[in-house]
Amino acid sequence: MASLSGKRIAFLATDGVEEVEYTQPREAVESAGAEVDLVSIKPGSIQSFNHLDKSKTYDVDVTVADAQADRYDGLVLPGGVANPDFLRTDPDALRFVRAFFDAGKPVGAICHGPWTMIDAGVVAGRTLTSWPSLRTDLANAGATWVDEECYVDNGLVTSRKPDDLPAFCKKIVEEFAEGRH
């Protein structure tokens, strides 16, 4: 496994995040040696879900209004339906996401996570995958959608669903280790 020693990764999430899409990627990058911050649109804690059922809460390390993308080596956008829907309406969240793409830093997004990227204006000309219901939204935003377990486009790692987490976690660690693209 690639080493992420000395790297800092931001996980951008809020209430409604799919728990396993937050916890498994976080465990993967921490196991590889990275430091991780949970960045959110509100201070305190966020409520995760296991599909439609409330699960655990997680403490926020920094609000997105105070977060600086240049402090991080990579970004993860977990899914859940409500999580990216809230994020995509927050100007600070969109600024934060755009900053990673502008700097050529690696980004991982799973399931509904790419919704936030649409509103950040960073999917045009990219090829990616997601939960199938986002296909039309991504195409309308200028992206090419593929139905694959894990797809990498110049540092952008995307996957469709929780079943794809093993491939997604492996690939984000590799891309974070490679760095800027």
- Contact call for residues 69 and 103 (beta carbons, < 8 A): yes
Question: Is 112 a catalytic site residue?
Answer: yes
d(C-alpha 31, C-alpha 27), whole Å: 6
Q: Which residues contact 44 (CB under 8 A, 6 or more apart)?
A: 59, 60
Of 51, 112, 169, 181, the catalytic one is 112
Question: Is 51 a catalytic site residue?
Answer: no
Of 111, 150, 169, 181, the catalytic one is 111
Question: In this structure, which amino acid lies at residue 95?
Answer: R
Q: Which residues contact 79 (CB under 8 A, 6 or more apart)?
A: 17, 18, 21, 109, 110, 111, 112, 113, 131
By annotation, the residues acting in catalysis are: 111-112
